[in-house]
Structures are given as structure tokens and as C-alpha cells.
Structure 1
Amino acid sequence: MATRRRQRFIYGQTAWMLATIVGLALLGSLSLELFFVVSLIGFLIVTELTAPFSVTPRWRARLRWIVLVGLLGFGYIVVRRILEILPEGVV
């Protein structure tokens, strides 16, 4: 049973990332930063949609670390983009 849930999680995340690559390529907006952000959003959605109701397996508890690293990367991208937008004398 756990293997089936884990496979469903992996298939869902893989499908999301492939759809992200295709969608961004069709829109002409394919960049590493945008792919990372949209993949992180998909990871959070897939994590919540495949969460069990009563018992949390050990492999799902380790996903918190991946979420934390992803949010730190997202924060870095946001700060870098804000610094690009601000005029030179502000910072």
C-alpha cells in the first residue's frame, strides 16, 4: 500500500514538472527560475493532495526538509528579483 501511494506521489510530481516544461516552452517563457517556482508550487500541491488522513509514513515526514529547501530557494529568487527592480541608490 505504501509503495502505491509513493508511486502516485512520484507520478503526480513528474507529470506536473513535464507539463510545466511543455507549458513554459509553448509560452516562450522557459527559464530555470520560473521552472523552479512553478515546480515548487506543484510539489506543494501534490504533497497536499496525496497526504494520508490518519498516519504519516516516514518518507512523507522527510518531505518537510525538501519543502524547507524549496522555500529558501524561492526566497532567494524573490530577494534577487526585488534587488534588480530597485534603483541603484536605494540599497
Structure 2
Amino acid sequence: MVTSRRHRFVHAQVGVMLAAAFFLSLLGSLELELFFVLSLIGFLVNVELTAPFHVTPRWRRRLRWVILLGLIGFAYIVVQRILEILPPGVF
């Protein structure tokens, strides 16, 4: 049975997320924020590596919204980390 490109994309993303969780747990630093960032980086790499050359299927166009939500989540994490570093009373 031939696996569709969509299924291969999902399988690759699940593999990236499982690998990220495994290596973070090996390092003893399994945190939700780190897992999210590594999964987002893997997702963006996966999107670029599996991009078609000529025709973009409809399901790939919807990935833009997932990328946008991921980047908003990443910006939130960065702002939270910056606010933790700044001394109290700055904001």
C-alpha cells in the first residue's frame, strides 16, 4: 500500500516529536517549553524538506496557519523568558 504524502508528513512529525522527547528526557531537561520549541523547529524543517516543487496541495496551504500559531507560541515563550531575566520593577 502506498502511503500518501500527507501520512508521510505526519509520520515524520511524530518521529521528530518522539525523538525530541526522548533526547530531552535523556538529558534530564524535559520541559514543555523546550519540547514545544524543538517540535516547532522540527515542524518547520519538515515543512521545508517535504515541500512540492510545482503544485501545492490544499492541505499544505493550511499549514501556514499552524506555522503562524507556532510562531505566536514561540514569541510568547521568548517574552516570558525575557521577563524572567529582567530585574523586578522594570515592567
- Report the TM-score, using the length of structure 2 for normalisation: 0.95
Taking the aligned partners of 1:44 and 1:86, their CA distance within structure 2 comes to 30
For structure 1, which runs of at least 5 residues remain unmatched after alignment? none
Taking the aligned partners of 1:70 and 1:15, their CA distance within structure 2 comes to 18
Alignment of 1:1-91 (within 5 A): 4-91=4-91
C-alpha distance after superposition, 1:38-91 (max 9, x if no partner) = 000000000111110000000000000000000000000000000000001322
Question: Post-superposition, which runs of at least 4 consecutive aligned residues in structure 1 deviate over 3 A?
Answer: none
1:65 aligned partner, one-letter code = W
2:21 aligned partner, one-letter code = I
Taking the aligned partners of 1:81 and 1:60, their CA distance within structure 2 comes to 32
For structure 2, which runs of at least 5 residues remain unmatched after alignment? none
Taking the aligned partners of 1:48 and 1:59, their CA distance within structure 2 comes to 14
